[in-house]
Structure 1
Amino acid sequence: MTCKRAKLSFQQRTDSRSNHHCCVPFCTASTKTNSYLSFHTFPKDSVLQKQWAVKIRRDHFIVTNTSRVCSRHFVTGDLIEPLTPAGHRRLQPGAVPVLFHWNNYNIPTPRLGLWERTERPPNTDLTVMQTDPDEDDPGSCHEHVYCTSTEPAALHLSLNENEELREEISKLRQQIEDLTVSSKFCLERFSASDEDIRFFTRFASHAHLMGFWKQIEPATINIIRVTRAQSFTKTDQVPHSASATVLQPIDEFFLFMNYLSLGLMQKDLAHRFRIHRSTVSHIVNTWANFLYTVLGAVNIWLDEDTVKAHLPEVFQDYADTQVILACTELRCQTPNSLHLQSEVFSTYKSHCTFKGLIGIAPHGAVTFVSSLYQGATSDKEILKQSGIVALLKPSMAIMVDKGFLVEDGVPGKVHIPTFLSKRTQLSKSEIKKTQSIARLRVHVECVIHRVKEHKIFSTVIPLSITGSINQLFAVACLLVNYQNGPLVKAWASDC
């Protein structure tokens, strides 16, 4: 149906004091050139006002008090006659402009629905059927059948087809879920392979990893997210829920373990987990601080009775041993400053290093981890600054390598291999003692080996992460107590 607009007359107005223009595109009507048209302000109702703006095709149009739409864009039924006493023409409530240049000033024909637009063959209407086939008999009774019955066999076949379709849909959904998981780099993808879990996280199995996750998961709701702004401005810390990433917390932990275990570049991790590189940096710093806080809150130093209760049989000759100590060095990038180079240069490694002290109980548990110091710092100075001396008692002995000269720096006994001291050879008893201490002390080297299985420490550490290297080192050392089984039995060939 089309509705042609009434013929409009144009004449020069001489008595108008207003100067309004129609805001519809392609419309040049104004109060100065036409007295027949009326010019209407936009409705105050925001919904109706938006409809006007959409209809006149003026997106993001700012309506003002001077915005007008002339009467040529409204159908006749929307205009109220007669005029007001002031000579103004009014609009019906809810009127919307529909006549424009782009539709040739005709009312758009409403589009037919799907049912009306679908072509159907004749005599397909099954809702009205005659029960008596004799249509010529005027006395016959015609009935309308509104429900047709289905044959039992056909109904049974239909039910079977529906069941097959449901099974097919279920299989397709499962395939989509499997493809989604296999395309994502996340913990769930590798949960069925303990070998993959060992490779990516250094945990012995998926069960080990999930056991550790259950211990720390309750604390993740209060995790403090480290951002670049916080690292520079020391602003208020934000809990995890306030600025969570697109990854689930367990996948953030999996990303952190990938970074620690494989020593991957942040750009590589960003590609694997499909996130921005800066997000990887924030996740690594956040979880380094979080695990450093959570694991550091656990008291790993053991009292004498506990150590003796778990003392292995091979330590019976050194039953008073409380802790086995050893220093380890991590290679770092050479600083540009010559002064800094002299501070971190290690004559033992002939390279710039960070140096830390690790202590284990005789049965293999890590019971002490120091901060990292410059490579030029001596073992004796690290022992003094680390704070372990305050934990030792006169009845507690320590076991160290022969290069660890700290006899006068601890309150108790020191089990250390015998020196030649300008002699040509050691006595038989001294050789036996040296060999037995070496066999027992090797376990601390095994622990250090486990720490350095985290590949981030087996390469040259860039100076860009020196702000978090203490946390990363401490977390790697503390994780050794959770990642593997007993020290001597598990992976003995690796030691």
Structure 2
Amino acid sequence: MVTRRVCCVDKCKNTNSGCVKLFALPKDSLRRQQWLGKLKLRKLRCNTKIENVRVCSIHFVTDWVPTCFLDGMPEKLGEVRAADAFEELDVINNTQEEPIENTVSSEPENEISASNNNIDVLHDNTFINEVKKLQSEITVLQEKLKLSDGKVINAQITIDNLNQQLSDSFAKLKVSEMELSNEKLEVKVLSSQVDEFQHTISFLELEFESTQVMSKIKKDMNGCKFYTGINSFERLWTLCNFVIKFIPPQHSLCKLDYATQFVITLIRLRLNLTMQDLAYRFNISLCTCSKYITFWLHAMHKTLVPAFIRWPKQENVRKTMPLCFRDRFYRCICVIDCFEIFLDRPTKIKERASTFSTYKSHNTVKFLIAITPQRYISYVSKAYGGRISDKFIVDDCELLDKLILRDIVLADRGFTVHEAVSLQNAELKIPSFLGKRNQLTNLEVEMSRDLARVRIHVERIIGAIKQRYSILHCTLNHQCTDLSGTDEERISIIDQMVNVACALYNACPSVVPII
């Protein structure tokens, strides 16, 4: 039977396990007696073998003799009675076959016990000093621990304060973020309101500009003449009302009234402003502006042209004949000439060829105009291509049908239409040709001078029309020559513009004085 070995110190029952080790008695007799003296096992039972005695490592400070916890073990290490240790030793001894013989005499035992007592006192003092030293170190460590605990507590308080401040700052940050988002929303709302206000301001400015243009036309005669070419607002208002009588009533959804639309059309003819400019000035769309101008050009062509461009009667002309015509050209009914207006280069080859003028070296359209001796425009032909000759235009237009007996027509050298005019029982007078002769006769020179003196008025009127209505003085889009309207009344935009400009010129006092 194998028995578990236990430490023989009183109240200690440690075994050889873990970090605790059991040590046997030393073989040296002196050290063995010292061990036994410390362990208070000098008198063993007769049946106990000394080889079975064991001491655990807890009772050693050095490896000399056991000195620690010999009177009893603390609660942490466990308490065991000495009797229990002896019982276990007896059990171990009973397993042996031979009993222990007590060969040690009483006298040596007394000497050994005395020496052991001295050693015990020496070791006890050393142990006490060591314990005190350990207690002082423990006290110092406890004080340091208290200080460190205080610092830890202070550090913990500081950390708590910092955490509180951090949480407060996070809360403030969330609040500031919410305020920032609200401010952003407010900024968006305000920006949208600002955009609306700016749009309203621009709209009001445009309305103010349009009303300002109309106010200048109404109040200032020079402003009226500058914008419309009409020298007074009363005449302008009279012409507008005259045209309105022959057109349908104004629709209620029209943004601008008829008078403003009429003024827009005149400004287009007078200043040659672009459609977009006029749309901005009067706060309308580009399409609406184009529709207004097209409508009023057609309306004025239908009303003003028949009213102001009329062929005069022979009796009326002779009654008011100017002095410069009375001597040699008393029976003069009109002075004719052609003028040209530049066009963009057409895309189609046929149109490009028919409108190219070798005289102007440009694509043009040509009109025949006739004025009375009183500087009044009496006839304007339709538009012809720049390639067409003056003779062909006279033969093709309706001018010859208006001539009657003994009428005289004055023209330039290019109008060699004597036969066509003679067929109407009228007479054509043009400057004399030199031909194969070296010089003209005195009568021919005098006649040519007188003819040039009176014929120059038609060129002055042509120049005045182009100067007053600058749209005729610039290069027009070739699409203006496209015919529009019904089959019975197909007429191009450029025909309407030229006829309306001539009618408006007749509606105002002539720039050419009557002498």
Shorter-normalised TM range: 0.5 to 0.7
SS of the residue 1:301 aligns to:
coil
Once residues 459 and 183 of structure 1 are traced to their aligned partners in structure 2, the CA distance between those partners, rounded to angstroms, is: 25
Per-residue Cα deviation, 1:245-291 (whole angstroms, up to 9, x for no partner):
31111111110001011111111111111110001110111011000
What are the equivalent positions in structure 2 for 1:73-472 lying under 5 Å apart? 184-219=211-246, 223=247, 239-242=248-251, 245-298=254-307, 300-316=310-326, 317-410=328-421, 411=424, 412-453=426-467, 454-467=469-482, 468-472=493-497
State the partner residue of 1:140: none
Per-residue Cα deviation, 1:194-233 (whole angstroms, up to 9, x for no partner):
22212111112323323433433433xxx2xxxxxxxxxx
Runs of 4+ off more than 6 Å:
177-180
Q: Would you say the 8 A contact 1:331–1:353 is kept in 2?
A: yes
Q: Would you say the 8 A contact 2:334–2:370 is kept in 1?
A: yes
- Report whether the alignment pairs 1:478 with 2:492: no
Once residues 208 and 407 of structure 2 are traced to their aligned partners in structure 1, the CA distance between those partners, rounded to angstroms, is: 53
The amino acid of 1:480's aligned partner reads Y
Once residues 418 and 366 of structure 2 are traced to their aligned partners in structure 1, the CA distance between those partners, rounded to angstroms, is: 20
Once residues 192 and 430 of structure 1 are traced to their aligned partners in structure 2, the CA distance between those partners, rounded to angstroms, is: 54
Per-residue Cα deviation, 1:276-321 (whole angstroms, up to 9, x for no partner):
0001110111011000000233361111101111111110110111
Once residues 206 and 377 of structure 2 are traced to their aligned partners in structure 1, the CA distance between those partners, rounded to angstroms, is: 41
Scaled by the length of structure 1, the TM-score of the pair is: 0.57
The amino acid of 2:494's aligned partner reads I
Once residues 343 and 216 of structure 2 are traced to their aligned partners in structure 1, the CA distance between those partners, rounded to angstroms, is: 34
Instruction: Go from structure 1 to structure 2 and tell me whether the alpha carbon gap of 1:375 and 1:178 turns closer, same or farther (over 3 Å shift).
Output: closer
Once residues 184 and 473 of structure 1 are traced to their aligned partners in structure 2, the CA distance between those partners, rounded to angstroms, is: 29
> Which structure is higher in helix share?
2
Q: Would you say the 8 A contact 1:203–1:484 is kept in 2?
A: no
Per-residue Cα deviation, 1:176-205 (whole angstroms, up to 9, x for no partner):
x99975663543333222222121111123
SS of the residue 1:333 aligns to:
coil
Instruction: Go from structure 1 to structure 2 and tell me whether the alpha carbon gap of 1:218 and 1:426 turns closer, same or farther (over 3 Å shift).
Output: same
Once residues 509 and 288 of structure 2 are traced to their aligned partners in structure 1, the CA distance between those partners, rounded to angstroms, is: 30
Once residues 267 and 206 of structure 2 are traced to their aligned partners in structure 1, the CA distance between those partners, rounded to angstroms, is: 22
Q: Would you say the 8 A contact 1:325–1:444 is kept in 2?
A: yes
The amino acid of 1:206's aligned partner reads F
Instruction: Go from structure 1 to structure 2 and tell me whether the alpha carbon gap of 1:244 and 1:384 turns closer, same or farther (over 3 Å shift).
Output: farther
Instruction: Go from structure 1 to structure 2 and tell me whether the alpha carbon gap of 1:417 and 1:326 turns closer, same or farther (over 3 Å shift).
Output: same
What are the equivalent positions in structure 2 for 1:18-97 lying under 5 Å apart? none
Q: Would you say the 8 A contact 2:371–2:458 is kept in 1?
A: yes
The amino acid of 1:262's aligned partner reads L
Per-residue Cα deviation, 1:70-91 (whole angstroms, up to 9, x for no partner):
xxxxxxxxxxxxxxxxxxxxxx
The amino acid of 2:251's aligned partner reads A
Instruction: Go from structure 1 to structure 2 and tell me whether the alpha carbon gap of 1:359 and 1:244 turns closer, same or farther (over 3 Å shift).
Output: farther
Once residues 248 and 189 of structure 1 are traced to their aligned partners in structure 2, the CA distance between those partners, rounded to angstroms, is: 17
SS of the residue 1:291 aligns to:
helix
The amino acid of 2:313's aligned partner reads D
The amino acid of 1:325's aligned partner reads I
Q: Would you say the 8 A contact 2:216–2:223 is kept in 1?
A: no
Once residues 483 and 323 of structure 1 are traced to their aligned partners in structure 2, the CA distance between those partners, rounded to angstroms, is: 20
Instruction: Go from structure 1 to structure 2 and tell me whether the alpha carbon gap of 1:217 and 1:241 turns closer, same or farther (over 3 Å shift).
Output: closer
Once residues 251 and 262 of structure 2 are traced to their aligned partners in structure 1, the CA distance between those partners, rounded to angstroms, is: 18
Tell me how far 1:421 sits from its aligned partner: 1.2
- Structure 2 unaligned segments of length 5 or more: list them: 1-203, 483-492
Once residues 210 and 498 of structure 2 are traced to their aligned partners in structure 1, the CA distance between those partners, rounded to angstroms, is: 32
Q: Would you say the 8 A contact 2:216–2:224 is kept in 1?
A: no
RMSD (CA atoms)? 2.3
Once residues 391 and 504 of structure 2 are traced to their aligned partners in structure 1, the CA distance between those partners, rounded to angstroms, is: 26
Q: Would you say the 8 A contact 1:182–1:189 is kept in 2?
A: no
The amino acid of 1:448's aligned partner reads I
SS of the residue 2:333 aligns to:
strand
Identity of aligned residues (%): 28
Q: Would you say the 8 A contact 1:315–1:440 is kept in 2?
A: yes
The amino acid of 1:409's aligned partner reads A
Scaled by the length of structure 2, the TM-score of the pair is: 0.54
What are the equivalent positions in structure 2 for 1:10-21 lying under 5 Å apart? none
Per-residue Cα deviation, 1:148-187 (whole angstroms, up to 9, x for no partner):
xxxxxxxxxxxxxxxxxxxxxxxxxxxxx99975663543
Instruction: Go from structure 1 to structure 2 and tell me whether the alpha carbon gap of 1:434 and 1:458 turns closer, same or farther (over 3 Å shift).
Output: same
The amino acid of 1:312's aligned partner reads P
Per-residue Cα deviation, 1:52-82 (whole angstroms, up to 9, x for no partner):
xxxxxxxxxxxxxxxxxxxxxxxxxxxxxxx
State the partner residue of 2:183: none
Instruction: Go from structure 1 to structure 2 and tell me whether the alpha carbon gap of 1:243 and 1:439 turns closer, same or farther (over 3 Å shift).
Output: farther
Instruction: Go from structure 1 to structure 2 and tell me whether the alpha carbon gap of 1:458 and 1:426 turns closer, same or farther (over 3 Å shift).
Output: same
State the partner residue of 1:104: none
Once residues 470 and 183 of structure 1 are traced to their aligned partners in structure 2, the CA distance between those partners, rounded to angstroms, is: 29
- Structure 1 unaligned segments of length 5 or more: list them: 1-176, 224-238
The amino acid of 2:236's aligned partner reads L
SS of the residue 1:334 aligns to:
coil
Q: Would you say the 8 A contact 2:206–2:283 is kept in 1?
A: no
SS of the residue 1:367 aligns to:
strand
